Amino acid sequence: MTKTILITGSSSGFGKATALRFHSAGWNVVATMRDTAAWAEAPSDRFFPIPLDVTDPVSIRGAFDAGIQQFGHIDAVANIAGVGLFSVFETTTEQTVRSVFETNLFGPMEIIRVAIPHLRANGGGNIINLTSASSMVPEPLMAVYSASKAALDNFTEAVRFELAPQNIVVSLIEPGFVPTTGLVGKLWAGQADLVIPLEYQEIAQRRMAFFSSEPTVDLATADDVAGAILASIDDKSGRLRWVVGADQDERMRMRHETSEADYIAWSWNTFAPAI
């Protein structure tokens, strides 16, 4: 029987790459996105593009019902839809903070809540959550984004223990910087409306210079991330985190394999403004 995966954020970036990778691997793909007009792939009886807004519980339930009606079952769910934010925390409104958490944390939580009974009824399955380099090593001017991804990271690690007895495997994908997703362009585009007080301008310039600089290591691609998601489905070792990208390998090494003092010194040297 052909397996089925429901993927959020399928219109571009990691979500689109994942939809294409699973389709190529022979899966049925419920490719969800806010606006299906953004879906431009060749028609296939194993692609089912459908609207889903991760901040709308009614939309979430409707997408699951439609996906099951289309293919009969759902075997895996990949929470990929997300929103980035480059901002000075002091000038970031409460509404903006809540919006980021609605998309990056509460949306995936609600999708998982809806997915669990479907997966359980099917004998089990997989849930994959996409976080970020910032979930383990938070960055300045991305404090709100980092916090939302760190919360998803911790939630994922905890809930996997609850779901394991039901044969539902939960995994984390943690990519480093992936320029092919267009992050830099979105950051630059957002700068026109970004309020950067004088006190923060130096560190803002340093961070934007970092994003625009030539990488010193080989960075991952969206397809590398999609490959890690597919590999996590087949893994039987109980592995939780799938780190993608040489830059993220280094961050994880500093976070988990060095002393706290060494990590603090490294992170201060990497991110702090000159003072």
236 carries an active-site annotation: no
Task: Tell me the per-residue pLDDT of 9-33, one tens digit each, with 9 for 90 and over.
Answer: 999 999 999 999 999 999 999 999 9
Write out the residue range of the structural domain in which residue 203 sits. Answer: 4-271
Q: Is 259 left (phi over 0), alpha (psi -120 to 50) or beta?
A: beta
Query: What single-letter amino acid sits at 39?
Result: W
- Count up the domains in the chain and report the number: 1
Return the structure tokens found at 131: 């976080």
Q: Is 5 helix (H, G, I), strand (E, B) or coil?
A: strand
Distance CA 274, CA 269 (A): 9
CATH number for the domain harbouring residue 179: 3.40.50.720
Q: Is 149 a catalytic residue?
A: yes
Catalytic residue among 16, 149, 186, 200: 149
State the catalytic residue, choosing from 3, 145, 200, 236: 145
Beta bridge partners of 29: 5, 47
pLDDT at 219 over 60: yes
Query: Tens of pLDDT along 98-115?
Result: 999 999 999 999 999 999
| pLDDT tens digit sequence for 52-81 | 999 999 999 999 999 999 999 999 999 999
